Amino acid sequence: MTPIATVQRKKTLHDIPSAELAGKRVVVRVDFNVPMNGAEITDDTRIRAALKTIQYLIKNHAKIILLSHLGRPKGTVQESLRLTPIARHLSTLLNQRILKNDDCIGPEVEAPISQLQNGEVILLENTRFHVEETDNNPEFAKKLAQLGDLFVNDAFGVSHRADASISGITNYLPAVAGFLVEEELSILTKVLNTPERPLISIIGGAKISSKFGVLQNILGRVDTLIIGGGMSFTLLKAQGYEIGKSLYEPDLLEAAKTFLENAKKSTTKLILPLDHIVVATFDNNAPQQTVDTENIPKDQMGVDVGPKTIAAIEAEIQTAKTIVWNGPLGVFEMDNFAHGTLEVAHMLAKSDAFTLIGGGDSAAAIAKANVTNQMSYISTGGGATLEFLEGKQLPGITSLQNLENPE
């Protein structure tokens, strides 16, 4: 089996002598695409994740120019998606003044950057206010590159995007990984290539189409693969079970059958839900009943895993040395259908295994269970983590400089 490429093949900030950073204009792509309620940041996890790189550059007297996007403005200026509240919050976290500009290219940006002192930080405006960003327009990327002497990618969560401020800019500046990106790649690579075993993976979520590549790639890599959530019903349907009104993807039934055949031939133990919480209507207050997989009524839909499934998952977790979790096992946004997902979160919190949480809904689930601090590592990636686990090349990573003599 081909190993995933290791992080050591790419240059990081560690590979640049710290003395060389003094006075350098360093453009840092961060992922400050945080959830907002008006001007209030409701979760600053992604901002805090970038602090190590920013603080290192401050300490070594660089001039720091931060780039980020927020939301999906699709090339138009939207006042609600300006980065001004984020600049204020970053100033508090760093305990120093953060300059903020209302654009990310042009003379009005170049002027204040030319006045930057060593150790100062400026946050430029939402890169997606320019349609050229997501088009990966070369001229736009070149204008961004003209602002600095070195580019650092510390935005792992968007490294699967071939945007101008992520991969395009690397055509015009020396480009290395920041500390967050280095850490993410190192941990994900170790989990896939040289984990402590038994290694189990718990994959959930609504649609199997979004994670089918991941499921195929980890067959034979993990010792046990547990699949839950809405995505499990496509596999159960492919096995011939009655799934009632449960969510499934008919166009993937044949692929699901092939996957199930491959699973039988692989070294991976596959576990699908043994029982379900079912309801007649998609309503948090709908009457529930618990049924085995063989007994789902035609007029009911599965919304959570049942106690037999939870017990089976617990048995696997108790023996595991490494656990990767991506995706909820039910409609966890609705409190009455969140039991299975929250139970798994608490099991992981009690486990002695290395627990890797794959960002997105899984991170939200462990936050809801109030066990965030009891996980070994929470990836800041959503799509990027999934694509890495799927074995795909990430444009924001492949475009960074290679180490000439990797160990």
Evaluate if residue 6 carries a pLDDT over 60: no
Is pLDDT above 70 for 5?
A: no
Are the CB atoms for 127 and 362 separated by under 8 Å? no
Q: Give 30's pLDDT tier (boundaries 50, 70, 90).
A: very high
Is the CA virtual torsion 329, 331, 333, 338 positive or negative? negative
The single residue of 204, 205, 230, 360 carrying the catalytic annotation is 360
**2 falls within a domain:** no
Scan for tokens 């019903």, then name that residue.
233
Query: CATH number for the domain including 315?
Result: 3.40.50.1260
Place of tokens 């003395």: 19
Rg over alpha carbons for the chain, rounded to the nearest Å, is: 23
Count CB neighbours of 350 within 10 A: 12
**Mean pLDDT calculated for residue range 365-369:** 90
Residue 398 falls inside a structural domain: no
Query: Do 75 and 216 have their domain in common?
Result: no
**Which is nearest to 101 in space by CA: 55, 78, 130, 67?**
67
The single residue of 119, 213, 220, 383 carrying the catalytic annotation is: 383
Is the predicted pLDDT of residue 75 greater than 70, yes or no? yes
Inside any domain, residue 395: no
Output the pLDDT for position 33: 94
Whole-number Å distance between alpha carbons of 155 and 153: 6
122, 157, 180: which is the final residue of a domain?
A: 180
Q: Which strands, in side-by-side order, build the sheet including 322-326?
A: 269-271, 224-227, 199-203, 322-326, 354-357, 377-378
Phi, then psi, of 303 in degrees rounded to 5: -125, -5
Amino acid at 142: K
The one catalytic residue in 24, 190, 207, 269 is 207
Say whether both 208 and 161 belong to one domain. no
Q: Are 99 and 122 in contact (CB under 8 A)?
A: yes
**DSSP 8-class letter at 75:** T
In the structure encoding, which two tokens stand for residue 148, read together?
Answer: 């600095």
**Same domain membership, residue 214 and residue 68:** no
- Does residue 178 carry a catalytic annotation? no
Number of structural domains found in the chain: 2
Exactly one of 10, 25, 29, 46 is catalytic; name it. Answer: 46
Whether residue 75 lies in the annotated active site = no
Residue 222 lies in a domain: yes
Q: Is residue 28 part of a domain?
A: yes
- pLDDT value at position 387? 87
Phi and psi of 28, rounded to 5°? -115, 120
CB of 302 within 8 A of CB of 253?
A: no
The tens digit of pLDDT for each residue in 222-281 reads 999 999 999 999 999 999 999 999 999 999 999 999 999 999 999 999 999 999 999 999
Whether 327 is a known active-site residue: answer no
Same domain (yes/no): 251, 345: yes
Over range 81-91, report the average pLDDT. 98
pLDDT band at 187 (very low <50, low <70, confident <90, very high): very high
- Residue 346: Cβ within 10 Å count: 15
Predicted local confidence at residue 390, as pLDDT: 82
How much is the average pLDDT of 197-213? 93
Per-residue pLDDT, averaged over 191-220, amounts to 92
Q: Report if residue 89 sits inside a domain.
A: yes
Within a domain: 399: no
Query: Domain containing 251: what range?
Result: 187-389
Residue 141 and residue 213 in one domain: no
pLDDT number for residue 319: 96
CA angle 43–49–54, rounded 5-degree value: 125
Residue pLDDT, tens place only, 123-137: 999 999 999 999 999
Q: What is the pLDDT of residues 325-353, one digit of tens each?
A: 999 999 999 999 999 999 999 999 999 99
**SS3 category, 97:** coil
Average pLDDT in the chain:
94
CB-CB contact of 204 with 327 (8 Å): yes
Q: Is 229 a catalytic residue?
A: no
238's tokens: 């492919």
Mean pLDDT value of segment 7-17: 85
Task: Look at residue 43 in the predicted model and tell me its pLDDT.
Answer: 87
pTM for this predicted structure: 0.88
The answer to whether residues 64 and 191 belong to one domain is: no
**Domain-embedded: residue 403:** no
Same domain, residue pair 224 and 369: yes
Band of the pLDDT at 3, cuts 50, 70, 90? very low
Are residues 269 and 359 located together in one domain of the fold?
yes
Sign of the alpha-carbon dihedral angle for 229, 232, 234, 236: negative
Say what the pLDDT of residue 1 is: 42
Q: Specify whether 176 is located in the same domain as 192.
A: no
- 41 and 176 co-located in one domain: yes
